[in-house]
Structure 1
């Protein structure tokens, strides 16, 4: 019995190691080629450079106008996440505390929306916002609210169902109204779920290229993914600078994930089970 358990243990460790290597390999390629010259990349993509160089990073930093594009990305990502957390947590509270056919219908509409691919609504969405002159950062944040609400509401409803209604009733007896119950009691108790919503959406919004490329068309408002496309010309591609720019763009979101990762598993677990 012990030998069988040990065999299963080492098999799972082996499979985990293989999966980890497969997951890390693309990051290895990006980093290893970001410290090569343009000629060095074409000489060998997979190997370690014979003469590593860090000159690509300051050049890419300057070409990206990084401080401005970083600020734009923070505004778009942070603003979108803020309104998603506020609106979806309130929706989750209402749906979990007001059971009934209408609440169930609304909840399943949110859940079904997770199955709709963005590409199927891309053209009518941009046309609609263009008709009301909302092709800007505010319009982009509202689009992200609509696109990101499904998963967030799903997680919040599942997490709130695990919180006893007696807390609401006790707070109301003490003089709180419904909004105060939500703001001072429910939302603080959903910290892990909120962090999960923040991290999942931050990774999406920070790295998104397609939707911002359709919505943000003004110079000086470009996010990092849009500005990175500057290195991909019509007749040539500055791979060494593009890959250095990608590494620079990944650093902030990796730091965010490292600080908040301990909350993610708890948040997903809270939102997945009643």
Structure 2
């Protein structure tokens, strides 16, 4: 019996390892080809580089103006996250704790908003906001992300907040604490697991989003990383090494963020499911 279990375990580990190799192989090929000159890539794209070279990364950084597009993306992502977290948490607190008749209607509208695909709103979106002069602005894009991301953010906070005990809040309110102070000093610190999960989900969404920035941001100086990478690929299709280096540069920041916060994702998801 023990032998059979060990054999089954080894088989599972073997297939898990094969699956891991299958998933990591494309990233490995992109990395090794980014470190090779164009001639080596053409001769054998599967081979390791004869000598490691960062020339492709240096040229891609300068050509893409990567410092500028990185700052644009970080600015848009950071301020979008702040607004989504602040207003999403406060809205969910109001919907859960305050007994208003309109709360159920508001929550239902938010759930329905999650079902509507953005593609169905593209044409009126561009038409209306273009006439209002809100295009080609990073601040306007942050405002749009707040609108499109608020339903999901509020929904996740709403489910988690139902499991938080009211005793501490009631004691603080009896002692003269305001609702605003009670929320930020007592309730919000208990939302750390779900807040981290929301941050990860929204960062991955906003950082990698291409469609909405392509509609709003027109000038080169306002482009985000996905937009800049798209135009770079169109211009340097034949320069495979540069293209691979640009791809590595575009995904590296969000991978670092994900690895730094990955332990909090499972905790937030599990706590939210239990609550």
Instruction: Give TM-score scaled by structure 2 length.
Output: 0.88
Q: Could you say which residue in structure 2 is the equivalent of 1:49?
A: 49
Compute the displacement of 1:270 (Å).
2.5
Q: In the alignment, is the contact (CA less than 8 A) between 1:113 and 1:150 conserved in 2? A: yes
Compute the displacement of 1:167 (Å).
2.1
Provide the rounded CA distance (Å) in 2 between the counterparts of 1:170 and 1:149: 30
Q: Could you say which residue in structure 1 is the equivalent of 2:177?
A: 176
Provide the rounded CA distance (Å) in 2 between the counterparts of 1:45 and 1:184: 56
Q: In the alignment, is the contact (CA less than 8 A) between 1:129 and 1:139 conserved in 2? A: no
Q: In the alignment, is the contact (CA less than 8 A) between 1:155 and 1:270 conserved in 2? A: no
Provide the rounded CA distance (Å) in 2 between the counterparts of 1:99 and 1:4: 58
Q: Provide the secondary structure at the position in 2 that maps to 1:114.
A: helix
Q: In the alignment, is the contact (CA less than 8 A) between 1:216 and 1:222 conserved in 2? A: yes
Q: Provide the secondary structure at the position in 2 that maps to 1:162.
A: coil
Q: CA deviation digits over 1:140-184, x for unaligned, max 9? A: 111111222232112111111110122221121121121112111
Provide the rounded CA distance (Å) in 1 between the counterparts of 2:156 and 2:67: 34
Provide the rounded CA distance (Å) in 1 between the counterparts of 2:94 and 2:10: 47
Number of positions where the alignment pairs a residue of Structure 1 with one of Structure 2: 274
Ranges in structure 2 where 5+ consecutive residues have no aligned partner: none
Q: Could you say which residue in structure 2 is the equivalent of 1:22?
A: 22
Q: Could you say which residue in structure 2 is the equivalent of 1:192?
A: 193
Correspondences of 1:139-178 after superposition (within 5 Å): 139-178=140-179
Compute the displacement of 1:4 (Å).
6.2
Q: Could you say which residue in structure 1 is the equivalent of 2:260?
A: 259
Ranges in structure 1 where 5+ consecutive residues have no aligned partner: none
Provide the rounded CA distance (Å) in 2 between the counterparts of 1:95 and 1:15: 47
> 1:238/1:213 Cα in 2 relative to 1: closer, same or farther (>3 Å)?
farther
Provide the rounded CA distance (Å) in 1 between the counterparts of 2:243 and 2:132: 35
Compute the displacement of 1:234 (Å).
6.0
Q: CA deviation digits over 1:189-209, x for unaligned, max 9? A: 111211111111112211222
Q: CA deviation digits over 1:59-98, x for unaligned, max 9? A: 1111122222211111111111111111111111112223
> 1:14/1:75 Cα in 2 relative to 1: closer, same or farther (>3 Å)?
same
> 1:129/1:59 Cα in 2 relative to 1: closer, same or farther (>3 Å)?
same
Compute the displacement of 1:246 (Å).
1.7
Q: 139-148 or 95-104, which moves further after superposition? A: 95-104
